Amino acid sequence: MSNTKEVHITAEVPYHWLGYGESTPSLTDEERAFIALMFVTPGTGLQLRYGGEHGVPNDRGGITATFRLIIEGVEAVRHATLVYLVDILRKVGTVDQAEVMDLEYDRTNPVWETIA
């Protein structure tokens, strides 16, 4: 059983972060299905939204559009699931913040922990 957790993840990802662009490392079908399951399934307490856009130089001499990706919310989710999510984000971009607080383990002194 998973404890209820508050989650905050921020990352910089390219426009084609799901792996459909030539300038982006490709995700496997399993990784894309995992993302869909996490954020398209009704009833999930985690929300995915985008912030500002900017460009970064790529290895082809051009500019790749990148976006701030923000994942946050409260959901009963396994810690290993969050680690897998962060690993996917690191595969395609940079993770600036990845923290979780277990809301059920110690209700008197909740602590933010870094997601590996």
**Structural domains of the chain sorted by starting position, each given as residue range(s) with its CATH number in brackets:** 4-110 (3.30.70)
DSSP state of 19: T
| Cα(42)–Cα(57) distance, integer angstroms | 37
pLDDT tens for 20-78 read 656 556 788 899 889 988 888 777 899 999 998 888 888 889 888 899 999 999 999 89
